[in-house]
Structure 1
Amino acid sequence: MVIVGRYEVEKEMNEKPAICDQIPSEKSSATIEESTRASRILDAYCDLISNKYFSSLVIAVLAVYWYVSIIGTINIKAELTPDKLFLADSDLVKIFEARNQYITTYYSVCWVEEFESLPNSVGSYSTKFWLRDYEDFRKQGEELDNSDEFDEMIGTAIEFSQNGSRQYKVSRFFFTTAFHGEELVEWSNRAALLNQWRALADKYSDLGVSIYEDDAKFLDLIETMVPISTQSAFFTFISMFAVAVLFISHPPTLFVATLSILSTSIGVFGLMSLMGAELDPIMMSATVMSIGFSVDIPSHISYHYYQTGPHFCFISLQEIAHMSPSNTYI
């Protein structure tokens, strides 16, 4: 930015003698009229910006902008779905849409009655638990004398040891139970349900209960995105502030430039949230980069204000406006 700024200043200084050497009579009337019209527009613009009533209106609009942006930033929703990792026209996206539309029940290898009493649980009839089957077998079935046949019947649901006797000791087992609900289509709700399972499993830590969920590697990322994004945005903002301190030594100008960067960053987060955007790794990267981009405009404006010295605001605005036709948007 410093190199480009120096190049612009040198180019401007080199163009001034050439402009002064031009003979006014050589200019066409259309060029003079266009220049006069542009000058009138810029003068009107500077008069408008310098008006105290307009400044009060801008401050009021800025306050509303900050309020809306902060509300949106606070209420931003973290969401992570596999379809966001593929192109919009990918066939995998269609598969994920079909899954969300038609598969509304989610199963997890997950103490049994307590799991079945959680919200969204289908109930005991959906639970595949070997002990209940074994109790039914004890009530209705006949004893099996063939241990090989017994082992084959049990399958892989439990692991046990016989210790050279006819008594079997169960060392570990697993069971499955089902949960359903339309809200579970959203992965953030599934992540909340997974945390409920884990909290319930922690109550029986002496039994070594553990939870398995096929999509846990994605669900675990959801609750980390907000704190990671906050930390990244904070340290990026601090870095931009440090850069501004190196090149702008005037405290009021530094404050205005820093406040502009902060305002732009909050606006990006808040307005995108209110527009329905969800916080995912892609948006997280884009918003963090936007903080770096937001330093460009306030740095240029702050530089021109700083270079004008102790002059009035009206004169400063006129100098900025007349620097180049490309800066008329300021």
Structure 2
Amino acid sequence: MSMITASGKTARWVENYCVWLSKPLTNCSLLIILLAYWCVSVYGILNVKPDLADNKFFLKDSSLLEAITYREQYILPKYTSVTIFVSEPGNMGDKLRRNQLEKMMSEFESLPECNGAQFSRFWIRDYEKFIQASEMDEDDEQASDQLKMFVDWPEYSYWGGFMRFDNDTGELVSFFSTVAYHGEDLWQPTRRTALLNQWRAIADNYSEFSVTIYEDEAPDLDALDTLVTSTFKNSFITLLCMALVVLVFMASISSLLITLISVTSICSGVFGLVSLWGIDIDAFSMTALVISIGLSVDFPAHVIYHYYRTEDSKSLSTFKHRMQYTISSIGFPLFQCSGSSVLFVGCLLFIPCYLSEVRSYQGFLHY
């Protein structure tokens, strides 16, 4: 392996740079800077927040953002509803069973954000009034007939849209009810997720009715609880795959450790600093982070591999010469590659879109 040399100012700069890297004071200074960098990165990671705001999916000049703004400012804080499906109501001629259903609805309506029972749609309350007004006997065998009479009554006929009957037996198969809520912070996905979990906790207490909670954005809200863990899990798996590749081609534990530390440092820095930059964890940032792990392994792997190969060269006996060879052969080309990548990623900033911002910010930090 021959020494790659350069002429003029470049050669002197590389030589002086390697001499500077060889000094103990330089190593101590870089270690302090690295520790500070890690502390800031960890602080950013600990303060990361998951978010799935709708406005992230559109260009900043999109007319849909106006509709989203109106929805978040005026609709969700004033009226957020939940639909409660009861799949196994059982015999509605049983007074105790109806009382249990009323108790369940009372728990939904007892939450602080509830608009009040007068805004709920729950047919059993009108059914109780119907039974009292008609002075009917509560006979279990005639419960189906009584329910049919109830929904056929003009005053209560609209409740038929909330109930489903068996076409053969006429028995009540299932029904649903709605409860309305309000709150100035209900436009926030994290707050609606907490409220959704409260609804589900109440439903779980009445498993004999097979209660199901429906909310329009429930699938997206459920993803909030898994975004951070999924991101770390995917990042860890990707890191292991990269480590396996490095181990196969280098077969050196020391090189593997250096590569893992380098990649982990880069990824944690990207993850933490982007969080401090105001970028939350969502589908876009999670994907970009996993991609950045794959990209971040390129630079340290190339540099470490070339430095590792210098062990077989007798002409490169000192640390300074080995560093000088590595920087001349691969370090400077990688620096040029990084510069061109930054210019390319920087073009994304001209696109008024959240996705372009995420990719450009992570690109700047990564390269």
Structure-2-length-normalised TM-score: 0.71
Larger radius of gyration: 1
* Conserved? CA contact 2:44–2:273, under 8 Å: yes
* Conserved? CA contact 2:120–2:179, under 8 Å: yes
> Are 1:130 and 2:132 an aligned pair?
no
Structure-1-length-normalised TM-score: 0.78
* Conserved? CA contact 2:299–2:334, under 8 Å: no
Distance, in Å, in 1 between the alignment partners of 2:165 and 2:135 is 18
More deviation in 59-68 or 44-53? 44-53
Secondary structure in 2 matching 1:201: helix
* Conserved? CA contact 1:321–1:327, under 8 Å: no
Distance, in Å, in 2 between the alignment partners of 1:290 and 1:190 is 31
> Are 1:321 and 2:333 an aligned pair?
no
Q: CA deviation at 1:241?
A: 0.5
Secondary structure in 2 matching 1:322: helix
Partner residue of 1:114? 107
Distance, in Å, in 1 between the alignment partners of 2:181 and 2:278 is 28
* Conserved? CA contact 1:42–1:328, under 8 Å: no
What is the aligned counterpart of 2:13 among 41, 49, 61?
41
* Conserved? CA contact 1:320–1:327, under 8 Å: no
Distance, in Å, in 2 between the alignment partners of 1:80 and 1:230 is 17
Distance, in Å, in 2 between the alignment partners of 1:197 and 1:39 is 69
Equivalence map 1:73-88=2 (5 Å): 73-88=45-60
Distance, in Å, in 1 between the alignment partners of 2:81 and 2:335 is 60
Distance, in Å, in 1 between the alignment partners of 2:153 and 2:166 is 16
- Aligned partner letter, 2:81: Y
Distance, in Å, in 1 between the alignment partners of 2:10 and 2:60 is 45
Partner residue of 1:25? none
> Are 1:52 and 2:56 an aligned pair?
no
Equivalence map 1:173-212=2 (5 Å): 173-212=175-214
Distance, in Å, in 2 between the alignment partners of 1:174 and 1:328 is 63
Partner residue of 1:295? 297
Partner residue of 2:161? 156
More deviation in 248-257 or 75-84? 75-84
- Aligned partner letter, 1:109: T
More deviation in 253-262 or 225-234? 225-234
Distance, in Å, in 1 between the alignment partners of 2:309 and 2:158 is 87
Q: CA deviation at 1:59?
A: 0.8
What is the aligned counterpart of 1:89 among 58, 61, 65?
61
Partner residue of 1:245? 247
More deviation in 51-60 or 238-247? 51-60
Q: CA deviation at 1:170?
A: 5.6
Secondary structure in 1 matching 2:213: coil
Q: CA deviation at 1:173?
A: 3.1
Secondary structure in 2 matching 1:175: strand
- Superimposed CA distance per residue, residues 239-292 of structure 1 (whole angstroms, 9 cap, x where no aligned partner): 111111122123222211121011111112111122221111121111101000
* Conserved? CA contact 2:44–2:271, under 8 Å: yes
* Conserved? CA contact 1:86–1:93, under 8 Å: yes
More deviation in 197-206 or 169-178? 169-178
More deviation in 153-162 or 84-93? 153-162
- Aligned partner letter, 1:156: G
- Superimposed CA distance per residue, residues 80-136 of structure 1 (whole angstroms, 9 cap, x where no aligned partner): 233333333333333212211221131111312211222422333332322334445
Distance, in Å, in 1 between the alignment partners of 2:25 and 2:288 is 37
- Aligned partner letter, 2:82: S
Secondary structure in 1 matching 2:211: coil
Distance, in Å, in 1 between the alignment partners of 2:37 and 2:261 is 14
Distance, in Å, in 2 between the alignment partners of 1:170 and 1:288 is 51
**5+ long unaligned stretches in structure 2:** 85-103, 137-145, 339-367
More deviation in 38-47 or 211-220? 38-47
Cα-Cα RMSD:
3.3
Secondary structure in 1 matching 2:31: helix
Partner residue of 1:233? 235
**5+ long unaligned stretches in structure 1:** 1-8, 20-34
How high is the sequence identity, in percent, across the aligned residues? 36
1:266–1:142 CA distance, 2 compared to 1 (3 A): same
> Are 1:100 and 2:38 an aligned pair?
no
